[in-house]
Amino acid sequence: MEYNDAGVGVDVLDCVLSSAPENVVVQVRGDVALKMFFSRRFKIRVLKESKIDSALDVKLREFLCRVFPNWERVFRERRAWHDAAPVLTVLATDRDGKIAGHVAVVERTLTDQSNARRLVASIQGVSVAEEYRKTGLSVKLLDVALKKARRMGYPYAILFCREPLVKFYQRNGWQFPDDSMVMWRDREYPIHMQSNCPMYRTLGKEPFPHGPLDVHNPLPHDVSNQS
């Protein structure tokens, strides 16, 4: 028997696989096979900040300290990049309940050269436990985060990565802006970014702005997209 993407759900295939006779080979191909791989190996959740209790917060900060040792001083106290806590976290745990991967979405304001401001989804803390790297988990977590950000109404997603990761993000649809994109602290002075390669993804039909761009934490009068 062979199954592909044509309207066959993961739950149906689980039943087929568990009930198939030993002498019957079941082949599963395409997106369904990938979904089955992740559903059987990992539990992936999208968590609003209000749903993360103190115990999980400690586990997340310990995980981030291991993956990002340069940020350990910050993550010992909070899960905030440049004073901005996530609006949501995409979390993968393995069968033993251990954290396998993590992506955070932080709300930022993007200001263009005409002073037009847009709230955007800033993707941060993309990380996978060492034993689960090269499984495609980071791509899966990013996909989940972007789909959620799109549903929340953000027109774009942005991130800042290190140069060795540029090709990975380009393979997954991320692009360079056509001019500078600078992160600012409190709109007063620029932040020296350790991850110095800005990239973006459009999440809807609106094209990404041209020209130099400033990225900063939202002010109270900037309208939030959270839902």
The token pair that represents 92 in the structure block? 């993968």
> Any residues with CB less than 8 A from the CB of 226 and at least 6 apart, and which?
87, 107, 152
Write the pLDDT tens digit of every residue in 44-97: 999 999 999 999 999 999 999 999 998 898 899 998 877 788 999 999 999 999
Amino acid at 14: D
pLDDT tops 70 at residue 13: no
What is the predicted pLDDT for the residue at 178? Answer: 93
The token pair that represents 214 in the structure block? 């400033």
> For the chain, what is the mean pLDDT?
82
> What pTM did the predictor assign?
0.79
Which residue intervals of the chain bear CATH 3.40.630.30? Answer: 42-216
Which fold is adopted by the domain 42-216?
Aminopeptidase (3.40.630)
> Any residues with CB less than 8 A from the CB of 90 and at least 6 apart, and which?
44, 45, 46, 47, 102, 103, 104, 105, 141, 144, 145, 148
Residue 126, phi-psi category: left (phi > 0), alpha (psi -120 to 50), beta (remainder): beta
Write the pLDDT tens digit of every residue in 19-53: 545 554 444 454 545 555 566 789 999 999 999 99
